[in-house]
């Protein structure tokens, strides 16, 4: 591992690293140089098996305080924003899940960078955006990256959107339409309550499902493929678990590995909240618990993560 010498870091980055390490203590946050990062990114965080976080940075990005501080603040923001979206696989679905979590954090991160004295030229962050995004092509998959870029610009950098609005409207009408629908579910604010965050996330997932269906990808159901931590009220915790939660056996099938996973979902919106493996006897017992236990008792027994409204 090619760790970066702390003497090469600015005081801002050193301070943020210290704060981030405190958040994940007893783990540490380390910076390391890496030439080839997935998805063509400049900075990428990997959680190691021992609980440490390694932030990999391309050599040409080592002095880019904006990108490095942004990545570190994604760790620090855990004090304020829970990790709602659980990503199962590092594929397109996983990328959508990671971005959905990011939309809950990015507005605060940008504001925090500015509060800490970082001068940010937002228009300068996208100097070649028109060349980068190009023109819409036929098919959702060829426009996927365009949609993701527009989602970010709409949500975090409205000044950039306004400057290039005419270009996007002319050259990316379909991608822009999809991005605007997805991001319409996020209120314009820096932080969300647990209830607001989950509501926005689940609504955006349903919007993505509609996009997939409209483009002939009816087999993709993000309500099942993405796991979102549920948010319950105190009154719901006292109700019978099976009134709030439902179980779908063999919901996710991996044909390559010849395995199947089961899911628990919230019945009110059909959103998966946990993925698990279990034999037939275990499933029968679990169904029995759902019908006999209160939601609070079931969550404690299953050690299932949840948040309160």
Tell whether 44 and 150 lie within a shared domain.
Answer: no
Residue recorded with tokens 């030229």: 121
Phi (first) and psi of residue 261, to 5 degrees: -115, 150
Q: Which two tokens stand for residue 114?
A: 């500015």
Residue pair 264/273 in contact (Cβ under 8 Å)? The answer is yes
**Radius of gyration for the chain, computed over Cα atoms and rounded to the nearest angstrom:** 21
Tell whether 27 and 140 lie within a shared domain.
Answer: no
d(CA 295, CA 18): 39
Q: Could you say which of 175, 192, 221 is where a domain stops? A: 221
Rounded to 10 deg, the angle between the 106-115 and 65-76 helix axes is 120
For strands 53-57 and 29-33, give the pairing: parallel
d(CA 27, CA 30): 10
Provide the 3-class DSSP secondary structure of residue 34. Answer: coil
Q: Could you say which of 165, 200, 221 is where a domain stops? A: 221
For strands 231-232 and 307-308, give the pairing: parallel
Looking at residue 37, its pLDDT comes to 84
Looking at residue 36, its pLDDT comes to 84
Looking at residue 309, its pLDDT comes to 94
CATH of the domain at 50: 3.30.2010
- HSE-up of residue 159 (Cα within 13 Å, Cβ side): 8
Looking at residue 260, its pLDDT comes to 84
Q: Could you say which of 79, 114, 148 is where a domain stops? A: 79
Tell whether 13 and 142 lie within a shared domain.
Answer: no
Would the pTM of this model clear 0.95, i.e. be above it?
no
d(CA 165, CA 228): 33
Question: Omega into 26 within 30° of 0, i.e. cis?
Answer: yes
DSSP annotation of 231 reads: E
Tell whether 104 and 210 lie within a shared domain.
Answer: yes
**Closest Cα to residue 146, out of 178, 177, 175?**
175
Tell whether 86 and 216 lie within a shared domain.
Answer: yes
Tell whether 216 and 265 lie within a shared domain.
Answer: no
Q: How many structural domains compose the chain?
A: 3
Residue pair 113/12 in contact (Cβ under 8 Å)? The answer is no
d(CA 202, CA 47): 25
Which residue range(s) make up the domain with 14? 1-79
Tell whether 213 and 237 lie within a shared domain.
Answer: no
Tell whether 242 and 286 lie within a shared domain.
Answer: yes
Tell whether 87 and 190 lie within a shared domain.
Answer: yes
Q: Which two tokens stand for residue 162?
A: 């306004």
In tens digits, the chain (309 residues) has pLDDT values of 788 988 889 999 999 999 999 999 999 999 999 988 877 789 999 999 899 999 999 999 999 999 999 999 999 999 999 999 988 777 889 999 999 999 999 999 999 999 999 999 999 999 999 999 999 999 999 999 999 999 999 999 999 999 999 999 999 999 999 999 999 999 999 999 999 999 999 999 999 999 999 999 888 899 999 999 999 999 999 999 999 999 999 998 876 777 789 999 999 999 999 999 999 999 999 999 999 999 999 999 999 999 999
Tell whether 104 and 214 lie within a shared domain.
Answer: yes
Looking at residue 40, its pLDDT comes to 74
Tell whether 48 and 146 lie within a shared domain.
Answer: no
Largest CA distance in the chain: 60
Q: What is the dihedral of CA 286, 288, 292, 296, to 10 degrees?
A: 10
Looking at residue 132, its pLDDT comes to 95
Q: What percent of the chain is helix, strand and coil (3-state, nearest 5)?
A: 55, 15, 30
Tell whether 54 and 15 lie within a shared domain.
Answer: yes
């Amino acid at each position: 591992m090619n760790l970066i010498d702390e003497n090469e870091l600015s005081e801002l980055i050193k301070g943020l690293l210290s704060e981030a390490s405190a958040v994940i203590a007893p783990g540490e946050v380390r910076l390391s140089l890496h030439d080839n990062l997935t998805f063509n990114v400049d900075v990428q965080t990997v959680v190691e098996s021992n609980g440490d976080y390694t932030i990999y940075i391309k050599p040409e990005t080592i002095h880019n305080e904006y990108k490095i501080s942004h990545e570190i603040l994604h760790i620090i923001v855990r004090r304020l924003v829970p990790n709602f979206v659980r990503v199962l696989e590092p594929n397109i679905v996983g990328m959508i899940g990671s971005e959905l979590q990011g939309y809950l954090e990015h507005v605060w991160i940008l504001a925090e960078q500015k509060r800490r004295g970082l001068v940010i030229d937002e228009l300068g962050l996208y100097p070649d955006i028109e060349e980068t995004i190009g023109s819409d092509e036929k098919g959702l998959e060829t426009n996927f990256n365009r949609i993701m870029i527009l989602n970010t610009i709409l949500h975090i950098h409205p000044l950039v959107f306004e400057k290039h609005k005419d270009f996007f409207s002319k050259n990316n009408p379909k991608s822009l339409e999809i991005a605007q629908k997805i991001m319409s579910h996020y209120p314009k604010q820096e932080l969300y309550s647990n209830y607001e965050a989950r509501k926005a996330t689940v609504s955006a997932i349903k919007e993505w499902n509609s996009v997939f269906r409209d483009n002939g990808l009816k087999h993709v159901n993000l309500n099942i493929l993405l796991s979102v931590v549920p948010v319950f009220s105190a009154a719901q915790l006292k109700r019978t678990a099976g009134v709030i939660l439902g179980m779908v056996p063999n919901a996710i099938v991996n044909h390559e590995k010849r395995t199947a996973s089961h899911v628990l979902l919230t019945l009110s919106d059909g959103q998966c909240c946990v993925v698990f493996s279990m034999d037939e006897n275990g499933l029968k017992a679990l169904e029995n618990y759902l019908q006999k236990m209160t939601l609070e008792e079931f969550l404690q027994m299953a050690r299932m993560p949840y948040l309160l409204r």
